[in-house]
Chains A and B, each alone.
Chain A
Amino acid sequence: MIANEKVNKSAFHFDVIFQTRYERITRLIARVVRDTARAEELGVEVFWRLWRNPQLRDDTVDGWLYRTAVRLALDELRSRSRRERFERLLFVRAVPTPEDLHAAAQEQEKVRAVLAGMPRRAGALLLLQSEGLSYTELAAALEINPASVGTLLGRARQAFRKEYIKRYGER
C-alpha cells in the first residue's frame, strides 16, 4: 500500500539520520551540560522533536539539529533543570552533590557559567564554532545572515571575555 510505503520510507529516513547524527549531537550537548546522562536525555529529546517534525527538508536537517541541541543545552545550563519533561514550564532545583561541588571549582564550570550568562545566540555561536561548524553551517544552524557571522562571532567573543572578567576577574 502506498500509505505504508510512505510511512516505512519516513521511518527509515529518520533512522538513518538518527544513527549518523545522534552521537555527535549528544556530545555537543554534553559539552554544555557536563552531566553525560542528562546529555543523553537531551539528545533523545532533540531527536524526538525531529521525529515529530518529519517534513524537514534534507538540506535543513543538520542546521535544525544543531540549533535545537544547542538551545536545549543552553536552556538546561541556565535553568539548572534536571528534568526535560517540563522544559521551560516547570523547574526542579537539585541539591548539589559532592561531585557537583568539585566540578564547580573547575575551569570548565567557569566557562559554563559564563556561557549561561551570555545572550543565548552568542553562546550558541561560540559553541557551534568550537564544534567545527563553518560560517555557512553556523548561519544555517542559527538562522542568521551568512554575511553577519563574522561580526556576530566577534561580538560573541567580546561578550564571553567581558562576562568571564565580570565573574572571575582578569585571566
Chain B
Amino acid sequence: MENGEDMKTNVWIDDRLAALAPNKDWRPSVENARRQLNARSARQTKRFRAWTWATATALLAVTGLLSFPSTRAVAQRLWERRILGRVEVAQVDLDALPVRWSLTGGFGDPVRDVAEAEQRAGFHPNLPPSGILTAHGRLSVIEPETAQITISTEALSNALRDAGASELTVPRNWEGPALGFQIGPVVEADYGDAVLRQCQPILLVTPPDFSIRQFAEIAFRIGGMSPAQARGLSESFAENPSWLIGVPRNGAETVQPIALRAGTGMLIEDAGERGQERQVSLLWNTSNRYYQLSGKIRRELAITVANSLQ
C-alpha cells in the first residue's frame, strides 16, 4: 500500500513527466517522414554504413552467436563457439543482406568512476591520460547485448539472384534462427568531441553443421563483391573470423590501415553529408580487447589517443 507521502511523490513525478509532452498543436509530418524514408531507401546502397557496436556486429552476421538464454547450457555443448580475435574492415555492403536480426540487452548506465566501471564491466578500462583529450571522460557501462540472426532462405536466394550470383545456393536447413553473437559489457568514455568504447572480444556461436565459409561467401556476393573476392575473403574469414565492418565501395568515406603501438588499426574518415565536417573513427584490437574511438577530431589526435592506452 502506498502511504500518503508515496502518493504525493508519485503525483509529483507524474506531473513532471506529463509536462514533457510537446505542444498539442504540433503534428509531425507523416508526408515528410515518408519522403525521407523513400530517399534513404533509394540511396541505401550508396551510403556509408556507420555501424554502431551493435549493428556492426549484428550485420557482420557473417558469423553468429548465442542468443537463446533458456538453452544456453545445451548450446554450449552443441553449438560452435568462436571468439572474434580481430577487427577488419572490408569494402562490402553488408546492409544488403536480407537477414532479420533482433537485439536484446544493451542498456547503458552512467558510472561514477573507473573503479565502478571495472566492477560493472568485469575488466579494467584503459583510458587515455588526462590532457590528451580536452574534457574529462564521462563514463558509462553498457550491459551485454545479444543478437539473434534469423535467416529466410527464400530472401537470401532472391538476394543472390538479384546480385547475379545464382550459381550459389542457400541450404534449406538454414531457415529460421541460425546465428547469434554476444558483445559486452562495453565501457564507454564520452569526452564530448570523441567517444572511446572498449569491450572484450565478441563471442559468436553457430550451429555445428553451419558453414561460416558458405554463409560469408553468400553475404559478400550479396554485398557486391566479385565471385573471386567473395570466395577468397570467405575462406580467410572462416579460418579466422573477425569483427567485420562493411563499407560500401561507392561511399564517400576513406578506409585506411594505420600502424598503432598495439598493431594495425583501421581508420575510417568521412567528409560528412555536406562535405564539411570530418568524422573519424579508429578501430583496433589487442589480444583481449576491442577499441573504437569516434568523433569529430583530427586523425592525428585519434592515433595519439590509441597509442596512449596501456
Which residues of A are in contact with B by a Cβ distance under 8 Å?
3, 18-19, 22-23, 26-27, 30-32, 36, 39-41, 43-44, 47-48, 51-56, 75, 78-79, 85-93, 107-108, 111-112, 117, 119-121, 126-127, 130, 143, 157, 160-161, 164, 171
Distance in angstroms between the alpha carbons of A91 and B19 in the assembled complex: 28
Given contacts A92-B296, A111-B16, A161-B9, contact A23 B107 (CB under 8 A): no
Contacts of A55 in B (CB 8 A): 100, 150, 152
Q: Which of B1-52 contact A (CB under 8 A)?
A: 9-10, 12-14, 16-22, 26-30, 32-34, 36-37, 40-41, 50-52
Given contacts A18-B34, A51-B41, A117-B110, contact A90 B28 (CB under 8 A): no
Determine if B101 and A53 form an interchain contact, defined as CB atoms under 8 angstroms apart: yes
| Set B13, B20, B26: member contacting A161, Cβ < 8 A | B13
Query: Residue on B with the closest CB to A31?
Result: B20
Query: Residue on A with the closest CB to B18?
Result: A130
Interface hit among B79-87, B166-174, B186-194, B200-208? B186-194
B279 to chain A, nearest CB (A): 5
Determine if A119 and B109 form an interchain contact, defined as CB atoms under 8 angstroms apart: yes
A87 to chain B, nearest CB (A): 5
Determine if A44 and B36 form an interchain contact, defined as CB atoms under 8 angstroms apart: yes
Distance in angstroms between the alpha carbons of A154 and B262 in the assembled complex: 46
Distance in angstroms between the alpha carbons of A116 and B10 in the assembled complex: 19
Determine if A48 and B40 form an interchain contact, defined as CB atoms under 8 angstroms apart: yes
| Set A53, A90, A157: member contacting B100, Cβ < 8 A | A53
Q: Would you call B63 an interface residue if the criterion is a C-beta within 8 Å of the partner chain's C-beta atoms?
A: no
Determine if A143 and B104 form an interchain contact, defined as CB atoms under 8 angstroms apart: yes
Determine if A111 and B50 form an interchain contact, defined as CB atoms under 8 angstroms apart: no
Chain B interfacial residues counted at CB < 8 A: 57
Determine if B52 and A88 form an interchain contact, defined as CB atoms under 8 angstroms apart: yes
Interface pairs A-B: 10 shortest CB-CB: A130-B17, A26-B28, A31-B20, A30-B22, A55-B100, A120-B107, A119-B109, A90-B294, A86-B50, A111-B16
Q: Would you call B300 an interface residue if the criterion is a C-beta within 8 Å of the partner chain's C-beta atoms?
A: no
Determine if A89 and B51 form an interchain contact, defined as CB atoms under 8 angstroms apart: yes
Contacts of B197 in A (CB 8 A): 88
Given contacts A48-B40, A55-B152, A127-B17, contact A36 B28 (CB under 8 A): yes
| Set A32, A48, A93, A171: member contacting B37, Cβ < 8 A | A48
Determine if A111 and B20 form an interchain contact, defined as CB atoms under 8 angstroms apart: yes
Determine if A119 and B107 form an interchain contact, defined as CB atoms under 8 angstroms apart: yes
Distance in angstroms between the alpha carbons of A30 and B28 in the assembled complex: 10
Distance in angstroms between the alpha carbons of A53 and B95 in the assembled complex: 11
Distance in angstroms between the alpha carbons of A75 and B190 in the assembled complex: 12
B32 to chain A, nearest CB (A): 7
Determine if A87 and B50 form an interchain contact, defined as CB atoms under 8 angstroms apart: yes
Determine if B52 and A43 form an interchain contact, defined as CB atoms under 8 angstroms apart: no
Distance in angstroms between the alpha carbons of A39 and B190 in the assembled complex: 22
Q: Would you call B273 an interface residue if the criterion is a C-beta within 8 Å of the partner chain's C-beta atoms?
A: yes
A56 to chain B, nearest CB (A): 8
